[in-house]
Structure 1
Amino acid sequence: MNSSQKQTKSKIPPNRSQFLQPAATSLTLLIMKRLIFLLILALVFCSAQSRSIIPRHQPHPSLQISNKTQNEASCSFTVVIRTSCSSTRYTLDHISLAFGDAYGIQVYAPHLDDPASRVFESCSTDTFQISGPCTYQICYLYLYRSGYDGWIPYDVTVYGYNSKPATFYYNVKVPADIWYGFNYCSGARATSSAATK
């Protein structure tokens, strides 16, 4: 009887739950992987959206250039300006530049333009060596444009002795006859104190 029971038991099909368990486990793992992927995607999207809170380029009508900054020349800066491919083919606009640090130390470079040397042409990169007072980390930069061509810079990168390269992205038309740019310093003190020196 024992032997027949054994034979009978061996003929009974295995329990279905044995087959469903591995399938359910792999389905659960698949769902978990997808949920984790969606969570990571949501975090990346949220962090990308949160970057838009950083101040964008804006006019600075009260920016004043200090005479002191024009007369000091103890450090050399390399400024690389890339002109947008959306800009006019060439420009006769007059372009000036002012940048500085959070301590109010400012570097001013008037009239970088020179139509004879083909600067600021569409899709071009122009490099300038500018002398000025030594700064700490560059955290603000403004461009001044006068003229009618509507020059569009793509970005401006400043390389300084005491600071990491600082890049400021524009890719918009700089309004005429007003300082226009960025201030990532920790307060308004940076550009206003330069005017009082």
Structure 2
Amino acid sequence: MLTALWELATFFQRTAPTAEASASFFYILLITSSLSQPAYLLTVLSIHREKRSLLLVFVPVLLRFFTFFFLTITFVLTPYGWSYLISPELPFEVGTAVFFGYLFGAIIILVELTRKARSAILRQKYVILLASFTIFQAIGFPLTNYFLTVNHDFPPLGGILQFLTFIAIGVAVMLKEPRIPSSIRGINSFQEVYLSFLTD
């Protein structure tokens, strides 16, 4: 939901008729994108942990929200809609550090889940999630944002990266463990086990 709101806000921020309207959607974009990162981390942490204390992952984002009050944002019309310049640098860098902290946290947890996976299929699922998150979110998203800041005519690719991430998640979810026939439980003979696979 947060990611969907983030992408909608990005679309309307780009296509807004005026700079003022673009600014309104930009602040929605800032809030939803900031909340999406701890939500990603919370989702990954929740795979093997179910504790209310996990909600503490949202605490660092409060620092990022605090930096918003010190940002000056200038909107620039480009061939791809409204872009923006952010200043001063220090509040922006603090917010960026929080952003990368969430990214690295999610990657570390995914690496740990991959390493401790109980089966080959489960490990394959985690590898897909880890690779897609690293390529599209941790590398692709910051890189394209950087290109946008140095060249306003650079096409915005965030939506494509999000779409590819969700495609990868869908592929991982669709991987299924092979079903073991229940009738082989309690069978000790290899021949009986083999025959049970042929006849079930």
Normalised by the shorter chain, which TM-score bucket?
A: under 0.3
Bigger relative contact order (CA 8 A; separation at least 6):
1
Provide the TM-score with structure 1 as the length reference. 0.20
Provide the TM-score with structure 2 as the length reference. 0.20
Q: More helix by proportion, 1 or 2?
A: 2
Larger Rg: 1
